[in-house]
Amino acid sequence: MFELFSKLFTLAVLGIIGVVTYYLWIWTYWMRRGVKGPRGKPFVGVLNVLLDHEKPGLLKLGEWTKEYGKVYGYTDGNQRTLVVSDPAMVHEIFVKQFDNFYGRKLNPIQGNPDQDERVHLLSAQGFRWKRLRTISSVSFSNGSLRNIMSTVEDSALEFMKHMEEKSANGEIDMLDAYQEYTMDVIARVAIGQRDNKMFSDQNELLKIVRQIFGGSRKYLMLICQVFPVVGQAIRSLTFKYPKIAPFKLYLMIKKAVMERKEQRDRELENGVEPGEPQDFIDMFLDAKSDDVDFSKEAREDFSKRNMKITKELSADEVVGQCFVFVIGGFDTTALALSYVTYLLTVNPEVQKNVQEEVDAEFGDSEIEFEKLGRLKYMDCVIKEALRLYPLASISNSRKCMHTTTVNGVEIEAGVYVQMDTWTIQRDPTIWGDDAMDFKPERWESANQSEYKGAYIPFGLGPRQCIGMRLAVMEQKVLLTHILKKYSFETGPSTSIPLKLVGSATTSPENVFVQLKPRNQ
């Protein structure tokens, strides 16, 4: 008995020594390589700083960039991350060396991109990503966007009805309001929501998605990233017993997909062939197949150009795809609209210019898809707001898949690269001394290729945001409706400057403004 106990004790001590050595090895990685950067503490590195909801980690990167320069390294849990704010390196990694950087930085609770059945476009990598991207691209083609436009217009008109009532009652938190709009659009476009749920207490989907982006899950994310095995275990468990918001959403979407599949099966039995897809669920179900083997894709060398890409999805991928579009389409676009609103409110002369353009182009005419391109100044406003507030910059990351050298810096396979987007997009050496000013006019004369690697609110290269054009369309349609009728004005609760929070996307805490009717 004593012998057994002694063996177990020795094994436990060896296990602990092994684990501690592994974490110290990771933690000292950048020191051993002579790369500067914040060290943090063993095991967590700087993860606890990055996950602070009240002081967004993505802004913290900028403070470190000032201290350590355009390339520095830190560890976060068991991940080794290189932070880059040199546009030439950004371009090299995102575009030229894509074959060496085709994965994204993930928390283990998001699944293993090569093995997990439920992986989606944002988290997939290699040929699996390519297959998902090829299938999804159809949803954002010109033809699809033209069809989606009528839904967007419908949601915008519904939104305006609510604004009429709310504007009479004083200030409105436009961030909250815009979330209603973007949820309505994406719920209709992606998962076929039929009834109107805008500003209703019954909108379960919105409640769950708000939980996903709203609060801080610092300690959960910390544990999962420090101990990936725990992250994977929590992931498996919460799919069975969904307690955390993203998993509740996943199951909600799964139910919607299953119901649609059953309905389509019933119709097929009665000889009714599926017609034109009505939403993303239909479109992805059209691509569903029972024998998709993604383990083979993970083994293939991604630099091979001639690998045949099938256009099929597994059942889990159908759900994953709908999930990622609901998540991707909701928060980002509401935030983009909120930042534009804030900037127009505190820059009334710019707002006046946008209103004049809106009056000239859509004074008494309908807002049509083809005519949206005429809103050139509004385009500059949207671009400039995203330059100052690159709200989704967390996604501007890559995993190094093969050891390589980028502009003289050796990056080993397995290291993650995070772009310091906020620093790059506010850098006076790129944008001039007025880099911190909101100046939409800079885009009127801008030669876009000048900003190669320096303007990346939607990322860059083959993995650039797939929803970019939808996001811009949604913003243009709603801003046109609002600014035709109202002006944004500050109120007693408008916070100037904005207080920014968040750990996934970077969000203003609120954007209270008054909507003043223009004809008064």
3 state DSSP class of 327: helix
Interface region with ligand HEM, contact rule CB under 6 A, candidates 206-214, 254-262, 321-329, 439-447: 321-329
**Binding of ligand HEM at residue 79 (CB under 6 A)?**
no
Distance CA 108, CA 232 (A): 6
Distance CA 434, CA 324 (A): 37
**Residue whose structure tokens are 């390294």:** 73
Instruction: Give the nearer residue to ligand HEM in terms of CB position, either 200 or 464.
Output: 464
Distance CA 145, CA 242 (A): 34
Closest contact distance (angstroms) between CB of 136 and ligand HEM is 7
Q: What dihedral do alpha carbons 196, 201, 204, 209 form, nearest 10°?
A: 100
**Binding of ligand HEM at residue 325 (CB under 6 A)?**
yes
**Binding of ligand HEM at residue 403 (CB under 6 A)?**
no
**Binding of ligand HEM at residue 467 (CB under 6 A)?**
yes
Instruction: Give the nearer residue to ligand HEM in terms of CB position, either 153 or 171.
Output: 153
Amino acid, single-letter form, for residue 366: E
Closest contact distance (angstroms) between CB of 75 and ligand HEM is 22
Task: Count CB-CB contacts under 10 A for residue 112.
Answer: 15
Question: Taking CB under 6 A as the rule, which mask of x and - marks residues 192-221 in contact with ligand HEM?
Answer: ------------------------------
Distance CA 331, CA 318 (A): 21
Distance CA 64, CA 418 (A): 13
Per CB under 6 A, which of residues 327..356 are in contact with ligand HEM?
A: 328-329, 332-333, 336
Q: How many residues does the chain have?
A: 520
Tell whether the torsion through CA atoms of 368, 369, 374 and 375 is positive or negative.
positive
**Residue whose structure tokens are 């996934």:** 504
E-state strands within 297-445 = 397-399, 404-406, 409-411, 416-419
Count CA atoms closer than 13 A to 173's CA, side-chain side: 11
Per CB under 6 A, which of residues 116..135 are in contact with ligand HEM?
A: 121-122, 133
Instruction: Give the nearer residue to ligand HEM in terms of CB position, either 226 or 327.
Output: 327
Given 417, 470, 513, 515, the residue binding ligand HEM (CB under 6 A):
470
**Binding of ligand HEM at residue 440 (CB under 6 A)?**
no
- Alpha helix (H) residue ranges in 368-500: 376-388, 421-425, 428-431, 468-485
Interface region with ligand HEM, contact rule CB under 6 A, candidates 151-159, 347-355, 387-395, 430-438: 387-395
Given 29, 247, 458, 488, the residue binding ligand HEM (CB under 6 A):
458
Given 89, 424, 466, 478, the residue binding ligand HEM (CB under 6 A):
466
3 state DSSP class of 106: coil
Closest contact distance (angstroms) between CB of 365 and ligand HEM is 26
| Bridge partners, 79 (sequence order) | 76
Per CB under 6 A, which of residues 82..111 are in contact with ligand HEM?
A: 94
Distance CA 98, CA 386 (A): 24
**Binding of ligand HEM at residue 418 (CB under 6 A)?**
no
**Binding of ligand HEM at residue 191 (CB under 6 A)?**
no
Instruction: Give the nearer residue to ligand HEM in terms of CB position, either 337 or 367.
Output: 337
Closest contact distance (angstroms) between CB of 340 and ligand HEM is 10
**Binding of ligand HEM at residue 313 (CB under 6 A)?**
no
Given 21, 134, 464, 495, the residue binding ligand HEM (CB under 6 A):
464
Is position 465 annotated in a ligand binding site? yes
With beta carbons less than 8 A apart as the criterion, state whether 337 and 478 touch: yes
**Binding of ligand HEM at residue 156 (CB under 6 A)?**
no
Distance CA 165, CA 8 (A): 70
Cite the annotated binding site by residue number.
Answer: 465
Annotated binding residues for heme? 465
Site residues for ligand HEM per CB under 6 A: 94, 121-122, 133, 186, 324-325, 328-329, 332-333, 336, 386, 391-392, 395-396, 457-461, 463-467, 470-471
